[in-house]
Amino acid sequence: MPVKVAHNADEIKEVLTDRASLKELLNDNDKFVEWVEKSINARIKSDPAMLDQLKESAELAAIKFLRDQGMDEGEKKDLSYAKRLNLDAPYIRNRNIRTDSIYNKAAIGAKFDKMFNSTPQFLHAISEHSAKDAALSANLVELKNAMSSMKPSDGGFLIPEILRADLLRIALERAIVRSRARVIPMDSLTVPLPAVDSTSNVASVYGGVVGYWTEEGATITESRPRFARVELRAQKLTLYTEMPNELIRDSIISLEAFIGQIFPEALAWFEDVAFFIGGGVGEPLGFLNAPAAVSVTRDAGQGAVEWIDVVNMYCRMLPQSIDRAVWVVSPDVMASLLTMTFDTGAGTGTAPVMLGSGYGDGGTGSPSMTMLGRPIVVSEKARAAGTSGDINFVDFGFYLIGDRQAMSARQSEDFRFNQDVTAFRVIERVDGRPWVLSPVTPQNGGSTLSPFVKLT
């Protein structure tokens, strides 16, 4: 006999307190779901106002969600923002980053996605690995074998793809380069990519394509572009930390807080360091060391930063890159930038370079973090004030990141046995290289241009 549909709270209580009805529902999951759906629909039909209440509750929940994910004050007050946002799209905390640009369903770890609900749970499982739990033991052996078949020397346990993507998702919110660069999935340890070998646009473009006007029927001069190759090699980035065994045994919540925040931020940190200043041997080649980088000499000499330096850097950026480029500056040059002025001409005095609130209001507002209309990113990974690379103008669209899309994790209670701590190690394989090989001389024969401009 089917369980009767509940039209109100009293009837729901009646069904759920009746042993026969409850047993029938719990023994058949599909029947239980069907009963819940019919009861909800019956409740809404008997009280149409209920639907409005549900909509209102959903909107309030959506607003709270967006507020928690870092909306600015204007968007918090704008309910239409929630209505405009496509919540079905795979956006994550930073709404400018999509999970489908991180998660790869073809990655080797994707088939293990359902084994664990979170990265902390995964790491907790490998730290508590015991043969007594047959299911857990089988899962971890499978992960270990999968990682060994891919990179035998690394060992450890392959991190399921959904957890790897989750680590990178959080890291992207802190990362400077990865969140702006072109990320290339690597299905092997080495991936070659074509690059145009162009040094001048004076007589040809794309390294060898020429254009000319000809009479009808005249012989056409042959030409072709000149290509080079940028090779991405999976380099090994290792994260290592130790945790007291008491913390692991007593508080999985604390472990989740630590792993869920510290590891992704550390990952973003060390990636960025290499993407900034890496030498290219056994590590990525940073954009500051790119052969294509253009150096602009300070007008006022070593150590000083003047408005003319900023203008000269802007003028050396590739024209097609200007609308993507960002200023990447060291924290210790911000004082110079915030107080920098330029002559307005005709004896009318000077004006601040960084226009916006914070000027003319007694310094109580937040200064605009842009110069010449392009955003300023402050990073201690830029060079120190007064040295080459303390101020940079960069289009990261010309920086390639090769991502092997496989991470391994391993733990050991024996390594620091006498200190009663467990060591955790996470290994990522990644590379980074500039996509252009040299500065380009423009068609008019002027100063060379590049997507990577630094002050020296």
pLDDT tens figures, 377-416: 999 999 999 999 999 999 999 999 998 877 887 777 777 7
Residues 210 and 277 in one domain: yes
Residues 313 and 187 in one domain: yes
Structure confidence at residue 172 (pLDDT): 67
Secondary structure of residue 286 in the 3-state scheme:
coil
- How far CA 109 is from CA of 33, 185, 233, 256, in Å, comes to 32, 14, 20, 21
Report yes or no: 196 and 206 within 8 Å, Cβ to Cβ: yes
Q: Which domain holds residue 240?
A: 91-456
Residues 394 and 448 in one domain: yes
Residues 181 and 33 in one domain: no
Report yes or no: 389 and 452 within 8 Å, Cβ to Cβ: no
Residues 30 and 104 in one domain: no
Residue 169: inside a domain, yes or no? yes
Residue 71: inside a domain, yes or no? no
Residues 30 and 173 in one domain: no
Residues 400 and 310 in one domain: yes
Residue 2: inside a domain, yes or no? no
Structure confidence at residue 109 (pLDDT): 77
Q: Which residues of 385-419 are buried (b: 16+ CB within 10 A; e: fewer)?
A: bbebbbbbbbbbebbbbbbbbbbbbbbeeeeeeee
Residues 48 and 172 in one domain: no
User: Across-strand partners of 58?
Assistant: none
Residue 280: inside a domain, yes or no? yes
Residues 220 and 326 in one domain: yes
Structure confidence at residue 224 (pLDDT): 62
How many distinct structural domains can be found in the chain? 2
Residue 41: inside a domain, yes or no? yes
Query: By CB neighbour count within 10 A (0-12 exposed, 13-18 middle, 19+ buried), where does 295 fall?
Result: middle
Lookup: tokens for 117: 């609900």
pLDDT beneath 70: ranges in the chain: 1, 9, 26, 29, 43-102, 106, 119-121, 123-124, 126-139, 144-156, 170-173, 196, 205-209, 220-227, 248, 251-260, 301-302, 344-348, 354-368
Amino acid 198 reads S
Among 35, 53, 84, residue at a domain's last position: 84
Structure confidence at residue 30 (pLDDT): 73
